[in-house]
């Protein structure tokens, strides 16, 4: 769980990890995005397994109606469309199980929110020092010694 305030105490059972560098933040974002993807994938698999029996019954019913002969062409087209949709649901599960998350674009919702807030509060002002300002600061520091 991401806490926007560093003074927030973690909930019981959780431990606190504070990222201080960009690399640590990115690594934590990727880790949390992977956990979120795996959680979403397991929920989809559970849902698919729960509805498998009903989908098999629907497919069997449609195939039986096609084998008996349909009332009209529209009825036949509807049965074929239902079968295609059920098979597409089956294939989408296999695709989900076979794919891995693309973590190159991984970011957390709070990071998306914070980046917009920071840009809005900046009001066109730039953050940090430009290269020529860093050189000037270094020359000033050399003269102080």
Model pLDDT for residues 94-113, shown as the tens digit of each residue: 887 787 766 655 666 666 66
The single residue listed with the structure tokens 């098999």 is 56
For residue 139, give both structure tokens: 């020359």
* Nearest residue to 38 via CA among 86, 79, 99: 99
User: Is residue 7 classed as helix, strand or coil in its secondary structure?
Assistant: coil
| Whether 80 contacts 66, CB under 8 Å | yes
Tell me if 124 is assigned to some domain.
no
* Nearest residue to 47 via CA among 109, 111, 90: 90
Tell me if 137 is assigned to some domain.
no
Whether residue 60 is predicted with pLDDT greater than 90 in this model: the reply is yes
Tell me if 4 is assigned to some domain.
no
CA distances from 45 to 18, 51, 103, 114 (A): 33, 10, 21, 33
Determine the pLDDT at residue 132: 61
Q: Which domain holds residue 69?
A: 22-111
Tell me if 34 is assigned to some domain.
yes
pTM of the model: 0.52
User: Please, what is the average pLDDT of the chain?
Assistant: 77
> What's the structural domain count of the chain?
1
């Amino acid at each position: 769980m991401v806490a926007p305030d560093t003074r927030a105490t973690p909930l019981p059972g959780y431990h606190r990890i504070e990222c201080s560098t960009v690399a640590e933040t990115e690594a934590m974002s990727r880790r949390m995005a992977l956990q979120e993807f795996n959680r979403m994938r397991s929920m989809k698999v559970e849902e698919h397994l729960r509805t498998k029996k009903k989908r098999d019954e629907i497919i069997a019913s449609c195939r039986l109606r096609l084998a008996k002969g349909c009332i009209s062409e529209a009825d036949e087209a509807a049965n074929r469309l239902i079968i295609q949709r059920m098979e597409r649901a089956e294939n989408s599960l296999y695709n989900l199980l076979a794919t891995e998350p693309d973590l190159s674009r991984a970011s957390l919702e709070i990071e998306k929110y914070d980046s917009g807030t920071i840009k809005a509060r900046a009001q066109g002002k730039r953050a940090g020092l430009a290269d020529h300002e860093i050189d000037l600061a270094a020359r000033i520091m050399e003269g102080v010694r």
